[in-house]
Structure 1
Amino acid sequence: MQWSEISSILIMLLLLGWSISLMSQNSALKKENLRLLKKTGEYDDMKNEAKEILKSSTEVKTVKSLREKYGLSLIDAKKLLTL
């Protein structure tokens, strides 16, 4: 094996480790954000707003509205509708 191949493999392993670390941090931050939203009561406000929008709109438009207003991910916005 040449040094260039070995260095390429090492770089890929380092990038893989770094990306796994970032995903772990992202997950922890999402959990902390949800905890803070529930603690401050804003989570309940978002759920109530989602219910109100859903009365006069479709589920897709409600999810889109929540994502635009609060910067939620698709999964988080859909979770609000199912709770």
Structure 2
Amino acid sequence: MPWTDISSLIIMLVLLGECFILMRKNSVLKKENARLLKKYNGYDDLKNEAKHLMETSTELKTIKALREKHGLSLVDAKNIVDSVK
């Protein structure tokens, strides 16, 4: 096996490991975000914002806007919109 193949394999393995580490950190941050939102009633502000958005756009566009602006998961954004309906 030539050195270029070995070095390419090593680089790919390192990058794959970095991807897994970043995915795990992302998961931890999402859980922390959800915990803080519940603790400080952050959902009340999001519900008011969702109610305002629902007046001018569709349900799907409201969910998309909440996800983009606040970094919510699809499930969280949909639950907020459903609670406003």
TM-score of Structure 1 vs Structure 2, range by shorter chain = 0.7 to 0.9
Cα deviation for residue 67 of structure 1 reads 4.1
Are the equivalent residues in 2 in contact too, given 1:50–1:80 (CA < 8 A)? yes
What is the identity, as a one-letter code, of the residue corresponding to 2:71? L
Percent of pairs identical after alignment? Answer: 55
TM-score normalised by length of structure 2 = 0.74
Root mean square deviation of aligned Cα: 2.4
Higher relative contact order (CA 8 A, sep 6+): 2
For residues 1-83 of structure 1, what are the structure 2 equivalents within 5 Å? Answer: 1-67=1-67, 70-73=69-72, 75=74, 76-83=76-83
Task: After the TM superposition, list the runs of 4 or more consecutive aligned residues in structure 1 that deviate by more than 6 angstroms.
Answer: none
Cα deviation for residue 34 of structure 1 reads 1.1
Total equivalences in the alignment: 82
Cα deviation for residue 63 of structure 1 reads 2.4
Unaligned runs of 5+ in 1: none
TM-score normalised by length of structure 1 = 0.75
Structure 2 Cα separation of the partners of residues 79 and 20 of structure 1: 28
From the superposition, tell whether residues 5 and 51 of structure 1 become closer, same or farther in structure 2 (CA, over 3 Å).
same
Unaligned runs of 5+ in 2: none
From the superposition, tell whether residues 79 and 56 of structure 1 become closer, same or farther in structure 2 (CA, over 3 Å).
same
